[in-house]
Structure 1
């Protein structure tokens, strides 16, 4: 791994699913001093990414209501409005634009800022901080630590402001939970804010850009985006399956010996469930490397499995559906402005993010 430590990589669908749901494959153990590390600067203890049930369940329950399908449905008109506003700014006369910076990232950034109560004007600041937090090898350990400290300091100031002048947003509600009971410590409050902010737009923005790139590389382009809700849902799930959010799953460390696919993994070992590989397992998905917009095979693992199944999955799915529909409706002939082979992934990050996606909007 980037830290120099070794890990077991699990690649088949059923084995990855088993690892993700096995309580012996622990997230909390990844932050123990003696545990193998993914990077030189691991995630902090006390957050959703580094807890196991029942502590993880307690923390997750404090924010889960903000991401239920019902709450996401209530947010839909606002997400549609934000989509339309961003598309209004794109050139309608055949101009070239980088869709990543003009659409794919501004949309989820705005949505999560409004949901949490983070000033949108500060988006460029926490975007730079976020890059270092999701870094594998793109930043030095010193840069990763410095950026994390800056973001933590920013969030502490923001939470203090929420305490002085609470509003109708999720961070204000979490401050009230912290101040009103012992359900949330100060460290957990700050770590929760950091986790929701970074995860709330990094993954969705990256997947949205990759999804559009996938569509534009296939005959039909955005014409593949259907009007029918059911068909649109199938398309989004296939785009999630074929475009992994990251190259592997979040790191886990075994708290007891575990046998996977006939291999005995000792206690204290790092284990990575390779979701990108699981989602292309030919025993589960026929023609796994082929993008099939109408695929209705077994459920993919893009959002994980088990207790750590992605909290924001309903919001991410809704944003992808709304964004792709709006983009296809407004710019049905959208096309790549450069050969597909010139498009590059940003190297050295936990997420698979395009550096740029230059398109012709006419």
Structure 2
């Protein structure tokens, strides 16, 4: 299909920012700011109140003073599309364009603040090292945040060359696929090149963010996708397979096959942040079973007619999956309750009700004993 030079599609495709993801949608969003004489740009790095922004004329350093909100989720982030001053020293970011997606985690389990890690992402690549034992619970946690962000998750099992045989590798891939319904799982080795071409094809032409713990091989994988050693790489410890934070900032880099990649520092903690829908998508089979329970508000504890417990008893639902599901739901509820007064009140009422039922049961038991 061809477009005339005057068409919006042709205009956006030939735009200097097209390699960074500029399209007719962003062009339409930017129209009012173009009328003000501002320049469009994409944030490729943020550092202490300033950011590097790639614009039609090249990369500029800009101050974020005019877009410092009270909400920590609205701060300038790598991957954001912005409007910047056409000149001046210093230059300023004047506004953020509305985000299409945002990957957010909780900064701490004891605080009710979220931290945005990347914006306007199409694929969330979760790097999981095969140099150490798989932590399926951590994978489920990453997946919940990825689904909640609006991006398409993708699990990449790195360092596949360290698995001694093909059969063992196949079992590991099967385990993760069971843990990640609806998600593509790729075994990749940056050392041998295994799977790198497949991953490159999947993320081509889109914005991808690379996530994982320290030592997951993110920087090595980024270099393999970029086709050159752009990111510094450090060896992991042999004792536990962990590594130091080679990447210290979130950087947006253009991929040779088209699209861009946001590399991120290793994450020690991955706290949920209002990720109820994401948790439900990770545990889709449990959510589907819950629809068959006798009671619509079934807690899957000891209620009669519980389809979830029935699946647990017949072995079709692994106990580990159910426990992980319960754990993430509880954690997410606590986080949401910190910022939602109505939900806090509901939780307190539930606690009081359960407490009263427990006391009544104890009193009845004492009466029988007497």
| The structure with more radius of gyration | 2
Question: TM-score when scaled to structure 1?
Answer: 0.23
Question: TM-score when scaled to structure 2?
Answer: 0.23
**Larger fraction in helix:** 1
Structure with more relative contact order (C-alpha pairs < 8 Å, separation 6 or more): 1
